[in-house]
Structure 1
Amino acid sequence: MDALIFKAAIFVILFAVGWGFGRHAERKHLKELEAQEKRLAYIRLDSSRFKTSDDFGQLVSSNVVISHDYFKYVIANIQNFFGERLTSYESVVERARREAVVRLKLEAEKLGAAQIMGLRLSTTELGMQGGMVEVFAYGTAIRSP
């Protein structure tokens, strides 16, 4: 009986440590994303497909793959069992989307562009249990001649 209690205690401690480190890493990533989004806010995003212009355009793309942590995996399995929304995965998808857009803007910035036209985002679930998400972002970076 003592061995079972010891194993349970070790599991709870390791689970809590993993949750703490995962939460810290996620918050750090969100702060970095917010800072980059503010810095790159001058690059406008437009999802329209067609625009007639004499401005120079070049295809830009970016992608990012983000995985969940073990804590989110356990919570998602519990939510899935009860048929609830997988809110723990929603945060992973949101972070991946924001990161892909930031990387896309960084590519456009290298070209001296002030706008990205025809922005498209493609999301793919990777892994057997849906543990990772890839977001591919692309559009046309527009800069004046």
Structure 2
Amino acid sequence: MDALLVKIGIFVVLFSIGWIIGRSVERKHLNDLAVREAKFEHIRLSTDKFATRDQTGHMISANVVISHDYFKYVIANVQNVLGGRLTSYESVVERARREAILRLKQQASELGASEILGLRLSTTELGMQGGMVEVFAYGTAIKP
């Protein structure tokens, strides 16, 4: 009985440490995204496919793979059994999408572009347990 309590105690402590570290990493990434989004807010995004003849375009692409922490994995499994939205995974997908768009904007900025036309996003679940998500973003950087 005492060995079982020790194992449960170790699990709770390690689970708590993982949750705290995971939240800290996620919060830091979200803050970094906000800063970088402000830096590149001057670059417009559009799903329009066509530029005018006097504009120069360059195909650009960016991808990002983000994994969830163990705490989110446990919560997602519970939500999956109960049904409904998997809110713990929504934040992972949102972070990946924002990061991919920012990387695209950074490339556009390096080319001197002011707009990205034909923006497309593709999301793929990676891993056997659905632990990672990849977002691939592409479009055409347009120079004025």
Matched length = 144
Q: Give distance in 2, aligned partners of 1:91 and 1:81.
A: 19
Aligned residue in 1 for 2:77 = 77
1:129 deviation in Å?
1.3
The Cα offsets for residues 114-138 of structure 1, whole Å up to 9 and x where unpaired, read as 1000000000110111110000000
Sequence identity, in percent? 67
Corresponding position: 1:122 with 2:132 = no
Structure 2 letter corresponding to 1:90:
E
The unaligned stretches of length 5 or more in structure 2 are none
Q: Give distance in 2, aligned partners of 1:53 and 1:130.
A: 44
The Cα offsets for residues 71-96 of structure 1, whole Å up to 9 and x where unpaired, read as 00000000001112110000000000
Structure 2 letter corresponding to 1:119:
L
- TM superposition score normalised by structure 1: 0.97
Aligned residue in 2 for 1:102 = 102
Aligned-CA RMSD value: 0.7
Q: Give distance in 1, aligned partners of 2:107 and 2:114.
A: 11
Q: Give distance in 1, aligned partners of 2:90 and 2:99.
A: 14
Aligned residue in 2 for 1:43 = 43
SS of 1:135's partner is strand
Moved over 3 A (4+): none
Structure 1 letter corresponding to 2:62:
S
Structure 2 letter corresponding to 1:103:
R
SS of 2:17's partner is helix
Aligned residue in 2 for 1:65 = 65
Q: Give distance in 1, aligned partners of 2:36 and 2:51.
A: 28
Between 124-133 and 49-58, report the one with greater CA deviation. Answer: 49-58
Corresponding position: 1:10 with 2:10 = yes
Structure 2 letter corresponding to 1:69:
D
The unaligned stretches of length 5 or more in structure 1 are none
Q: Give distance in 2, aligned partners of 1:84 and 1:58.
A: 41
Structure 2 letter corresponding to 1:33:
L
- TM superposition score normalised by structure 2: 0.98
1:52 deviation in Å?
2.7
Q: Give distance in 2, aligned partners of 1:123 and 1:53.
A: 32
Structure 1 letter corresponding to 2:131:
G
